[in-house]
Amino acid sequence: MSLDTNTLIAIAGMAVATYLTRIAGLWLLQLANVEGRARSAMDDLPPAVLMVVIAPAVLATGVAETIAAGITILAAFRLPLLAAVAIGVASVVALRALTG
């Protein structure tokens, strides 16, 4: 069990930055008045960023991951979350074995 000062500072910095993004929304309630294209852009920012976070893993890793992502999408439209995740994980294991 060791604690490194630089690591602690980095963790603290990330924690502060993250909490600021979490509470900033509470101060921005006037965003309700934004309409039109800007509103559409803002509404779609959360899913766009979620997509970006997984893009390297599903689109830039290998064929198995990309196909498994497609299978997970189909499963998620029809099945509960846990079942869709299990199918996604099982298909990536199977596809990795197939594609070597």
Partner 1 sequence: MGTRTQEFSAGAVAILPVLIATIPIALLFGTLAAAKGLSPIEVWLMSATVYAGALQFVAIDQWADPTPLGLLMFTALVVNIRHVLMGDSIGRSMAGFSRPAKYAAMFVLTDEGWAFAERRVRSGTLTPAYCFGIGVSMWLNWTLFSLLGAIIGRGFGDPSAYGFNFAFSAVFICILVGFWSNWRTGGVLLASGVVSALVYLTVPGAWYILAGAFAGVGVAAALHAESDNHKPDGVMPS
Name the residue nearer to partner 1 (CB basis): 59 or 98: 59
Query: Is 82 within 8 Å of 72 (Cβ atoms)?
Result: no
CA distance 8 to 83: 38
Q: 9 vs 63, which CB is nearer to partner 1?
A: 9
- Quote the DSSP letter at residue 4: -
CB of 70 to partner 1, least distance (A): 9
Query: Cβ–Cβ contacts within 10 Å for residue 96, how many?
Result: 14
Helix (H, G, I), strand (E, B) or coil at 80: coil
Shortest Cβ 40–partner 1 spacing (Å): 4
User: Least distance in Å: CB of 65 to partner 1?
Assistant: 7
